[in-house]
Structure 1
């Protein structure tokens, strides 16, 4: 189940370009990518091509992995990843990209980002501005950035429920007064500050509410989008990551070695013992995925039965994670300064 850890000593950036019958554009794409100084190697994955895609890619300077039978983009990429030497970073580019327009340069100290409303929204801990970039042109939207009126550090941003939501933490880490979630209307750029007595650790949006894991206590705050009403739910000690999916809210409780499932309507909750300290949580592929940083494990829970399916050894200190296309989990390995991929099948 586990993939190899990509070590800190290998800083190669490998660009994968999946292609099926793209002879008209693949040469231009490869040549334009070759001018990107950070890319160490370009590999074109020719998926059952019937034209000159492989020849054009090779002539432009790419390494070509060709398959006679068409597998489809996802399976072809999975097969290619298993055949190449592991780099420090993978970059995925479509074969018909041609000449890249621009790099999305957001500067230093970005603390969080979220996609929504045809834009990418970026927060930085050292400024109160939420920056807005056009998702197509990669340029900052003129007049689109928002200066948060509430003092503090912008530590999280999410989109959903027709708004952008920003978590603002007090400047002084020992200040335990109420912290703030700010609702931004992306069209009018108006702000609505919402005080959260329990503080802000992480945010998630879904099931008609904004969910806040609280920094000051063993609680989660539900902020109803319709009327702003707040309800506080007690969970395990030390809530950290929070996610919404599979009809529930999932909270990693680092002080209780458990994950809490909250019914988003009744607020009834069930605890699932993990036997390890959880850090971050995400939902995908019919499962709940939890990183246990100190135990060096990725824990998989069946979303339907709520039973632990697997405890996967990952290497030292796994942290952030995400699920891609419901078929693989990617996670960061802090002590290896790298990434790891874990493939999976949906639970039956």
Structure 2
């Protein structure tokens, strides 16, 4: 019933040179971000911070959509306009994080399962009525020598597909996010092995649950060395391993792959995306759905002070512009020093 709308929205989210701002930090996560700059996390400070991002003039040239947290979807800009309407009026598609976070997996408590399927059908109707046209659900997969187990991969893949089916039923494009974490000691090769297993399981479940692949987006990790690995892969190695993995597992029917940054520094995340696009053309658009890698410089510049809003917006604009260039394969490190 919603087939055309789903396909059109998915394509619009990966329009040439455009990507997604992930501004969907939960209340706990945004508190950590604000604590880091010495700002108390209140509804007012969270609104002020999101307001400065969403009202950055010209950012809509690079940002196709914004993932909102539930609180933010119903908040208003300083001028009284609902954030969802403010974004839509600029041609930016509002989206919504719908999962309820990762909890210990029964039977394998060192691993995680994402919760939030109960009541999701009703919540999706409410979100659609509030202007959301796409959604996001994140599954968290940890890497050690023994993990992840097939059990953990299987139940998370099943939940991602169930979420995607409910989204498409509601006319909302699902962003499917299976995140293989980069916090461990694992090598690039181990990350590629695990990411391959995860993507294989996810697309098997999506097929079984009759997901319209043309009406969804994939938000995967890049294939990367763990943060604690003594031998860090370079930009070219990350690009080659990531593309090798995606070509094996992601059907060409999927219109776009919007990477998460996963704790990479902002400039490194941009360089990795650029390197992959330089190796194109690909079967799918390769773009970004970054949180920290788009926001960190803006947050640092703002520090909760009204007089710093302009500097913070310039910092956000620069990261959006540079990632837009990377989504075209046209980024260079010289752009970091350019005004």
Q: TM-score, normalised by structure 2?
A: 0.30
More relative contact order, 1 or 2 (CA 8 Å, 6+ apart): 2
The two structures have a TM-score, normalised by structure 1, of: 0.29
Structure holding more strand per residue:
1
- In our comparison, the structure showing a higher alpha carbon Rg is 1
